[in-house]
Amino acid sequence: MASSLKNLSEYNPKTIPSASSMRFGIVVSEWNDDITSPMLIGAVDTLLVHGAKRENIFIAHVPGSFELVAGAKLLMKQHSPDSIICLGSVIRGDTPHFDYVCMGATNGIAALNANYDVPFIFGLLTTDNKEQALERCGGKYGNKGIECAITAIKMVALKQQ
């Protein structure tokens, strides 16, 4: 569903399992950090609201969105979290670089999900311009980091069933 049709931050808290016994990894891109930092804050705050312990949230920063895959894999090996949230932002420019970064990160995160028994959550904003990205990191369409944290909790709960 397009984020313009649903606020990324809206959810029913009554439907979210407790995260008190869960461990989470978050890998976040430093590129476009004015976008990814609010996403990171949204994800961490949401995990904490739902019972996750701060000492069970492991954060790794990577240079760009293309490096999210390698960072997620390293985070998984170092901390064995129950789920890993991948947060990044790629904004279309004048060259095909956007397409290659988006494709590489998307395919890489999909491959991690296919090859490992850990949910890797796709939190990569792929927007045409900076305004669209700002609208999705705490602006009028909510915060993708919050949505990813909720998805991570639900996926861990599904795995634990």
Residues carrying an active site annotation: 97
Among candidate residues 146, 150, 145, 74, the one with its CA nearest the CA of residue 116:
74
Exposure of 74 by Cβ count < 10 A (0-12 exposed, 13-18 middle, 19+ buried)?
middle
Q: How many CA atoms lie within 13 A of 141 on its CB side?
A: 18
The secondary element (H helix, E strand) that includes residue 142 is strand 142-143
Q: Indicate left, alpha or beta for 67 from its phi (over 0: left) and psi (-120 to 50: alpha).
A: alpha
